[in-house]
Amino acid sequence: MSQVYCINESRKGKHLTEVERYKIEILVREKMSPGEIAKRLGRNRRTIERELKRGQVELLRSDLTPYKAYCADVAQRKHNESGTNKGPTLKIGHDHKLAKHIEDKIKKEKYSPDAVIGEIKAKGLRFESSICTKTLYTYIDKGIFANISNKDLPVKRNKKKRKYKKVKVSLKNLKGTNIEERPDSIDARQEYGHWEMDCVVGKQSGSGAALLVLSERQSRKELIRKMPDKTQQSVLNVLDALEKKHGDRFCEIFKTITIDNGSEFSNFKALERSVRKPDYQRVKLYYAHPYSSWERGTNENANKLIRRFIPKGTDIGKVSQATIKRIEHWMNNYPRRIFSYKTANEMAS
């Protein structure tokens, strides 16, 4: 009896080898049934039946009549192709708890994939498996998650670095203080109290309401105030209200504010003058160069975060104060990579 008949060790859970496929081809030629082949090879009968189907080819007899037969070479080639197409096992595996956590953070709490992964590491949250930011982006691209897709993500980062060009002369607000006169320590974010300010506008044909957004440069803390319109008086009213609220501490909290050349900021004397003590300067304003929004980069990034909740074209007049406070709270408690995923509130405390 040939050695081909002497294999009876069970190979449960193992793929058929190339050698086994050639043995199957020999046994098929000897007219053995799938059950008998399975017994001889120590395999399950269904495994052999599936293998015979996989390697089935159509051949011609000498009289040119077709017949079907098993070919080990064909079966092995199909097996190799199948293994290549399968790809690596998902790192997230069957960790449904982690998948739900990721989906909730991105879908409900508007987190970016990087913020989700960063917060997990920063807070030491425990799951059965772990993945990195790059892997999470890949899984979302491939549609691995059932409840999130690229539509739920903020704009992806463009890795191409933008080239910035300074405009040497400011065309407006020539009587105000140009950003070129701003101390280097402010640019280096060495102390708390230096802010950037801008307006977020809504639907042009709407109520005309706008948001005044103040961003603290060192901690990235945000203040958002709703205004009935985008005018000098509305901006002045917000600053006056903040000064009345904080009293003498206003000058410690708001040391300087960097703004653009919009008409709502053109009356720098009124904005700098204290409402409590009209003869005193409550804050120092610096005007950025025209067409240089990057000089207020913190403020511009904050506006992008706000747009996750209030898309362009929204009538801000219809957005409730409670919603605006909720957005402000979310921004100040959002984990940021630049702070090793601490929040603005944690950095400001």
Using an 8 Å Cβ cutoff, are 48 and 24 in contact? yes
Residue spans of the domains in the chain: they are: 3-86, 96-152, 179-348
Indicate the SS3 state at residue 88: coil
Residue 269, token pair as written in the block: 């004397």
This prediction's pTM: 0.69
Residue 144, token pair as written in the block: 């691995």
Give CA torsion, residues 57, 58, 61, 63, to 10 deg.
-170
Q: What is the pLDDT along the chain (349 residues), one digit of tens a residue?
A: 444 444 455 555 688 999 999 999 999 999 999 999 999 999 999 999 999 998 999 888 888 888 899 998 999 988 888 776 666 677 787 889 999 999 999 999 999 999 999 999 999 999 999 999 999 999 999 888 989 998 888 765 555 555 555 544 444 445 689 999 999 999 999 999 999 999 999 888 888 999 999 999 999 999 999 999 999 999 999 999 999 999 999 999 999 999 999 999 999 999 999 999 999 999 999 999 998 989 999 999 999 999 999 999 999 999 999 999 999 999 999 999 999 999 999 998 8
The full DSSP string for 182-240 is: S-HHHHTT-SS-EEEEEEEE--TTTT--EEEEEEETTT--EEEEEESSSSHHHHHHHHH
CATH class of 179-348: alpha beta
